Structure 1
Amino acid sequence: MADHRADGPWWRTRRVWVVAGAGVLVAAAASVALVAQASGAACAALAATSGQATYYAADGSGNCSFDQVAEPLVVALGNAEYRGGAACGGYLDVKGPKGTVRVKVVDRCPECAAGHLDLSRQAFAKIGNVSDGIIAVSYSQVVNPAVPGPVTVRVKEGASRYWLALRFDNTGNPVAQAEVRSGDGWKALARTDYNYWIAESGAGNGPFTVRVTDTQGRQTTLNGVALSPGVVQRPGATASPRTSAPGRSPSPSVIASASPAAPTSAGAPESMSAALAGTSAPESTSVSGASARC
């Protein structure tokens, strides 16, 4: 069997910074990754971090292995804040000279120092003049943001009963832990820096039951995940009450920051799979458990 375990993000798009004011073009190998933002409420995070922002030609895909989108409001982080993929799927509120934009973490910017955000051109244009190329910003992580739909899972190409790799989207907060049901217990999956979670020895033929815990300790159980490489699935999900993620603080640690985030609406979904309401999915189960609140 071919070894697909190393085909991570390096084949993705190259990044080009455009710093118009200085007349400089800087090209560097990099990959992109995103999570599309939805309108809705969120809880505020910590104190704001100051920094700077540039932009590049993002398409919503990248080092986090997310799918392309038409109008990407996304960001790439330097190694210190990307943290080996642990930041993937989280959201930041970024404030610039012209306003604030909410962006999803989808990529790694190896050449970016801490505090340097590389935004998609679309996101940059909402908070600054594109002709400036680089602007001063402050930014904060959003806790429990609204998301555009139910939690999804994608099985990586090359997966089989002997090697399993899963990518999750629409979790709102970054994923802290992923597990697959094995007999009467759970088998922990290993995180990669390209945002797939791996069972090196596989988990059988499926369908699988998978449990995802986010950085706020919220758990969602995905039922009926098929061994269908390359297919984005919306399996039936059950949300569990807030717990402490194993080995982690319930508080997010991707970015120590916070400009004011949108206030929480009374009816806004807050569990990872709350967006399942009103949608149909194979082998769906009712959403249960208390919603987590900040």
Structure 2
Amino acid sequence: MTFLILFSVFGLLEGATHQGILNLYHQKYNGDGTYYGAGTGGTCSYPPPSMPPVASHLDKLVALNAPQFYGSLSCGMCFRVHGSGHGAGNDPITGTFTTYVKDLCPECHAGSLDLAENGDGRWKIQIQAIQCPVGNTKIEYKFQGSNHYYLKLQIRNARIPATQVEMYQPKSHRWSALRHTTDGFWVFGSDHVDKPVVTPFRVRLTAANGETVVDHIPKLANDAVIHGDGVQFSLDSSLPH
């Protein structure tokens, strides 16, 4: 009975998070724009020089507010931002521009962003998520601290964030879910996994809008960008881009 209750609560929380991500596309949010200094590092674990390719096609790098960060599921998302120029400080945020989420702003409220550049002040902004302009680039992968008995995998350069990641287990003929971490990776959260993990292996990625793609990861190499067969989530006509 306890297990069923916990499973049900987990499912409700997962559903709320999924809907929260989609709401970032369907709604516009008002908040504050601030500055926290230039830099490419951050909570989302995109250490230089390996920022995902799509980041170079956006105007600014940002830290997203804590309520809409969703435990780092928002890492790698893209936002359209409009600055009104109203606020206080020496460097007003004005006009419309695009941003890439690479960090968390712990003290920021919903609708707010912290710009990864030098500046001063707190300015009124409006934000809305957009599908990332990935062009013809594909989803990438990166391992951290992994071996054939423990996997910690990052999903990079996705048009829409993945909210579920699974790996196929050939011995047991089933898909096993990976658990999301607060620093933007996916790890095995259960001991019920075929070990050792043999490469290449298949991963199944489910986007926030429900689309599912299957890809192959050819090798296990830590701290290196890895390319699979070349899949990408489709452009969704119902979401801003």
TM-score clears 0.5: yes
Question: Please, which of 213, 218, 224 is the counterpart of residue 220 of structure 1?
Answer: 213
Q: Does 1:195 align with 2:184?
A: yes
Contact 1:59 1:68 in 2 (8 A): no
C-alpha displacement of 1:80: 1.0
C-alpha displacement of 1:60: 3.0
1:111 & 1:84 partners in 2: Cα distance? Answer: 14
Contact 1:218 1:292 in 2 (8 A): no
- Classify the secondary structure of the residue corresponding to 2:67: helix
Question: Please, which of 110, 128, 139 is the counterpart of residue 151 of structure 1?
Answer: 139
- Classify the secondary structure of the residue corresponding to 2:106: coil
Contact 1:208 1:225 in 2 (8 A): yes
- Classify the secondary structure of the residue corresponding to 1:160: coil
Question: Please, which of 133, 141, 147 is the counterpart of residue 121 of structure 2?
Answer: 133
Normalising by structure 1, report the TM-score: 0.59
Q: Does 1:233 align with 2:226?
A: yes
1:65 maps to 45
2:47 & 2:207 partners in 1: Cα distance? Answer: 20
- Give RMSD over aligned pairs: 2.4
C-alpha displacement of 1:292: 4.1
C-alpha displacement of 1:135: 1.3
Normalising by structure 2, report the TM-score: 0.71
Question: Please, which of 148, 157, 166 is the counterpart of residue 153 of structure 2?
Answer: 166
2:230 & 2:150 partners in 1: Cα distance? Answer: 23
Q: Which moved more, 1:71-80 or 1:101-110?
A: 71-80
1:47 & 1:207 partners in 2: Cα distance? Answer: 40
Name the % identity.
28
Aligned residues: 192
1:105 maps to 101
2:47 & 2:213 partners in 1: Cα distance? Answer: 21
- Gapped regions of structure 2 (runs ≥ 5): 1-23, 86-93
Contact 1:160 1:205 in 2 (8 A): no
Contact 2:25 2:128 in 1 (8 A): yes
- Classify the secondary structure of the residue corresponding to 1:84: helix
Q: Cα–Cα, structure 1 residues 162 and 74, in superposed 2: closer, same or farther, change >3 Å?
A: same
Contact 1:89 1:175 in 2 (8 A): no
- Classify the secondary structure of the residue corresponding to 2:129: strand
Query: Per-residue displacement from partner, 1:101-138 (whole Å, max 9, x unpaired)?
Result: 1111111111222233101228xxxxxxx4x5221111
Q: Does 1:56 align with 2:30?
A: no
Contact 1:205 1:227 in 2 (8 A): no
Question: Please, which of 202, 208, 215 is the counterpart of residue 201 of structure 2?
Answer: 208
- Classify the secondary structure of the residue corresponding to 2:26: coil
2:39 & 2:198 partners in 1: Cα distance? Answer: 33
1:125 maps to none
1:212 & 1:218 partners in 2: Cα distance? Answer: 8
Q: Which moved more, 1:44-53 or 1:89-98?
A: 44-53
Q: Does 1:293 align with 2:225?
A: no
2:38 & 2:139 partners in 1: Cα distance? Answer: 23
Q: Cα–Cα, structure 1 residues 120 and 219, in superposed 2: closer, same or farther, change >3 Å?
A: same
C-alpha displacement of 1:237: 3.3
Q: Does 1:116 align with 2:112?
A: yes
More strand by share: 2
2:147 & 2:99 partners in 1: Cα distance? Answer: 34
